[in-house]
Structure 1
C-alpha cells in the first residue's frame, strides 16, 4: 500500500510541474522613473559573501555552515523587501529587487528544510517543488516564486537572460551570482551569468557529435525564439559555435546546489 501511494504521489508530482507561461500581472507593470533612489541589498550581499563557493563550473551554497544569526538576518532582509513598494522605483531598480527577492526566498526555503536532497521535495504532497506556494506579501498581495518569475520578470522585461539570473537551488540551474543585483550592475551580471552558463557543460554539451542542451531551452523555448535564434543566442556567449543541431537532447539536474 505504501509503495502504491509513493508511485501515485510521484506520478502526480511529475505531472503537476510544467514550465509556466509568461503571463503578465498588469498591476506590477508600473514604475516611477524619476526616482533615482536605490534599494539596499547589503544584507543579501553579505550572505552571498559568506556562503557561496566556486567548485568547478558550479557556484554552490554552504547551507550546512549557515549559522542561526545569518539565517535570522536573511529572514529580516526578506521582511524588509516585503515592506518596500517596488512600484515607487524605476524599472531598473525593480528588476534587481525582484531577482534578489526571488533568490533570497529560495535560499531561505532550502535552509528551513535542510538537510534536503532537492528543492523538488518541497511543497505539498502532490507538488513538484515550492514554486506555487505563497512565499511573500508585497503591497498587500501574496506572491509565489512563479508569480515573481513568470508574471512579473519575464513578461515585463522580456529578456531571456532572466533565466540566468533567478536561481532554483539546483545543480542544473544557472549559478547563483556572487553579487547581489543592483540597477547599476544588472547588465554586467546578466552577461556574466549568460556566459558562465552557456559555456558550461550543464548549459551546452557536445558528446560524440550530439548536442545536449539544458532543459531550460526546451521549457522556455518561447523566450529564446526559433531554433536558429536560440543557436545565435548561444553562439554569442561561446568561444566555439554550436554545431550538430540535427540531434539535440535536453538534460537538467535537480540535485541541490550545496557545497560539500
Structure 2
C-alpha cells in the first residue's frame, strides 16, 4: 500500500467507518428453555462496586487504581465464563452472560494496555480499535467483541436497547452500569440504561437550530428504524416535552472513560 494512501486511511474520522451489520452466527442461536442454571456474576459486581464512579452525566472507571489482586479476579471471572457453554442456558441467562462478558472483557483490555487515551488506540496497525481481535475462546470457538455484539446479541435478541447495555470504554458510549446484568434484572437495567443515555447530552442534545444525537443512532440506524421510529423511541424515554427530529448532527467522543 502506498504511504500516502495508508496515511489517509489512518486519518479517517470514526464517523466515516462503517459499523458492522447484525449477522447471525447460527452456532450460538441454541438455548435450553428449561435450564435452571444460574451464572455467578458476583466477581464482576464486586469490581463495579469498587471502581465505578457514577456522576449525573457520565459514569467513569478507575482503571489506574485497580489492584493486581482485583485484576486477577477479573481474569478469573472471564476464565470462568469461558468455561461455560452458553447454549445450555435459557435465553434470559444467556443475555446477561453475553452482556457481562462483553463489558468485563472490554475493561480487561483497557487494564492490560493502561495507560491509554482511547480504546481506538488498541488493535493491530490497520485496526480502529480491538473489536475484531480474538479475545476469547468458548466451546472451542474463537470470539471477538464484534462477534458478541453483532453476531450474537443483536441478531438473536433484536432489541435496540442492546446498544445501551454494551460499553466501549469511551466517554461517548452509553454508561457502564453499576449493576451486573442477571436473568432477573436485565429488563429493568435496559430501561434504566436507555433513559439515562437519552437524557444525557451525549445521547440527545437539543438546540434551537438542530438536534445533536450520538453517532450510535447513525451507525446502527437499522436497529432503531426510520426517523419516525427513532423519534418515537427517543420521546418514549426522554424527560420533558417531546421533540421532533429536524436537522440532525451526530457526535461521539472516543476518549477513555477514565476516572483519574
For normalisation by structure 1, the TM-score amounts to: 0.95
Q: Residue 5 of structure 1: CA displacement?
A: 9.3
Q: Hey, what does 2:162 align to over in structure 1?
A: 162
2:44: which partner in 1?
Answer: 44
Taking a change above 3 Å as real, the CA distance of residues 16 and 248 of structure 1, as seen in their structure-2 partners, is closer
For residues 250 and 124 of structure 2, the distance between their equivalents in structure 1, rounded to whole angstroms, comes to: 27
CA drift at 1:245: 1.8
Map of 1:10 onto structure 2 = 10
TM-score (norm 2): 0.95
Aligned twin of 1:72 = 72
Instruction: Give, in whole Å, the separation in 2 of the partners of 1:216 and 1:259.
Output: 23
Do 1:12 and 1:127's aligned partners in 2 also have CA atoms closer than 8 Å? no
How many residues of Structure 1 are paired with residues of Structure 2 in the alignment? 258
Answer whether contact 1:45 1:179 (CA < 8 A) is retained.
Answer: yes
C-alpha RMSD of matched pairs (Å): 1.8
In structure 2, the gaps of 5 or more residues are none
The reply on whether 1:56 has 2:56 as its aligned counterpart is yes
Residue 94 of structure 1: aligned partner: 94
The reply on whether 1:235 has 2:231 as its aligned counterpart is no
Contact 1:213-1:248 within 8 A present in 2 as well: yes
| Kept after mapping to 2: 8 A contact 1:45/1:180 | yes
* 1:83-104 residue CA offsets vs partner (Å, 9 max, x unmatched): 0110111011000000000000
Matching of residue 104 in structure 1 with residue 101 in structure 2:
no
Q: Flag the 1:14–1:219 CA change in 2: closer, same or farther, 3 A.
A: closer
Equivalent in the alignment of 1:224: 224
